[in-house]
Structure 1
């Protein structure tokens, strides 16, 4: 009997365009203000609801579930807390930063002691040619409401655990403050001084031990894409023939649609199979 592994990538509140009924009350607010997602992706809330229904209805067919969690510190290279604009003000979110910008003083590293390691990262990232470094809104800080798993997904995971008696594996990524870490497997530029940024061989082995890996989560253009690319790069088979991407359970960050389509074309050549959650559910049942 073939084994099936569900890989859910970053199903967290900060990435979901949640309706107000899903917002949490800010306990520090004197007016009862609600906590809202800081980096919502259009369509992600509906993605997570479909994905939760899939997990609930396909529960008997799933042998293992792994959930990755984007997990950041308060000061980190991908958020405004690391950066200053030329005039000394805070660098706005959604600002792309290149090594040349720092070299010419257009943008500055807030703490000068970190400039060398940040420059090394920017130069290495640009040499790879995969991404330009982006300053994102502060998101998924460990311990915050935004870091938590979407409520419908959490309910589905608890139900699967109760049915199977197997714990859902949780994989944190992004704790290294000096490198971006989209992929579930390895940071964009691994930090030699930080094992958490280096290849997660345990996770890779777990995925490769399964006959089918079903993938959903956010964002398709970044964390989902990079995970699948690194599976090809580091996996023993060098392809995606055992992977099924639930295309109705992922969404793209606005502005990155073309990059995602280019990725999909290549991934399908490498064996990636696309399916909707309803189509795959009917097949499994």
Structure 2
């Protein structure tokens, strides 16, 4: 098919000012029916499609994310008249959070390098000590291992609010604006990750709950909104972390509603795993998605028709 004139596939994964006006004008010219009139409601969940994850020079660049994003954009263009809603999460961080190097130090006063794993045994032995929220931090690492079955990973500073890395990658933003104009609807944006004392991989809940914070629990209202759609497609970054945990949140919440789980579609060629020197995150993600597929989720690709 012919893609809109504002789209340049060679610009995917590059930083520029999105041609929002051009995208909106092109969408309006299509004269498609409004999303509100859709007989079959389809939503696309874009998990953290941001500069720091997608671009090769991003602070937490995911290998393969540029190609994933190109396929996602072209999937949106191809399915414009069948796609009802686009919802995107924005990983939104502050300079110092519990997974930041600056939060921790060793006995020499040195901060951990990115991709360091901090275990509760390390904390108890004094290998790493928290410099902020000391009591919470010590208990957090233990809770993370007990409740979320994870160890604390120290990440590079990424998607900091107000920096270029926080923005949705421009070519994809143009596609979102194009869809909004063509279908006379609004995109949905969810910010996550602003609680300093917990990680927030899933777009729907933190790793360890923070009951006294407005974003510290499961986002039930968004989950219930999802259930109103006939089809739920998922793409974004990274497959091994925020995409996987978003899907896990959905699978848990609707575990007793198999009809909802059967609505889920994972666009497997529109996501990639984090690269780590010693941990095979790709295989971890594949195993979990295979389990979810046995529960009703479908693993599809961007070349397959919506159904």
TM-score by length of 1: 0.89
- 1-side partners of 2:101 and 2:281: how far apart? 21
Map of 2:29 onto structure 1: none
Cα distance in structure 1, aligned partners of 2:264 and 2:227: 10
Aligned twin of 2:168: 149
Distance (whole Å) between structure 2 residues aligned to residue 197 and residue 221 of structure 1: 22
Q: Deviations over 1:195-242 (max 9, x none)?
A: 212111121011111010011000111111111111111236166211
Gap regions ≥5 residues in structure 1: 19-35
Contact kept, 8 Å, 1:174 with 1:197, in 2: the verdict is: no
Give 1:180's aligned residue.
Answer: 199
Structure 1 residue ranges (4+ consecutive) displaced by more than 4 angstroms after TM superposition = none
Q: TM-score, normalised by structure 2?
A: 0.82
Query: Distance in 2 between the 1:86 and 1:50 partners?
Result: 47
Cα distance in 2 for partners of 1:129, 1:189 equals 7
Contact kept, 8 Å, 2:148 with 2:207, in 1: the verdict is no
Deviation at 1:129, TM superposition (A): 5.0
**Alignment pair present for 1:207 and 2:245:** no
The answer for the alignment partner of 2:159 in structure 1 is: 140
CA contact under 8 A between 1:246 and 1:275: conserved in structure 2? yes
> Aligned residue for 2:122?
101
C-alpha spacing 1:135/1:50, structure 2 compared with 1 (3 Å)? same
CA distance in 2, matches of 1:121, 1:96: 14
Residue 59 of structure 1, CA deviation? 1.3
Secondary structure of the 1:65 match is: strand
SS in structure 2 opposite 1:141? coil
User: Alignment length, in residue pairs?
Assistant: 263
Does 2:262 align with 1:237? no
Separation in structure 1 between the aligned mates of residue 55 and residue 62 of structure 2, nearest angstrom: 6
SS of corresponding position for 1:66: strand
Preserved contact between residue 17 and residue 43 of structure 1 (Cα < 8 Å): no
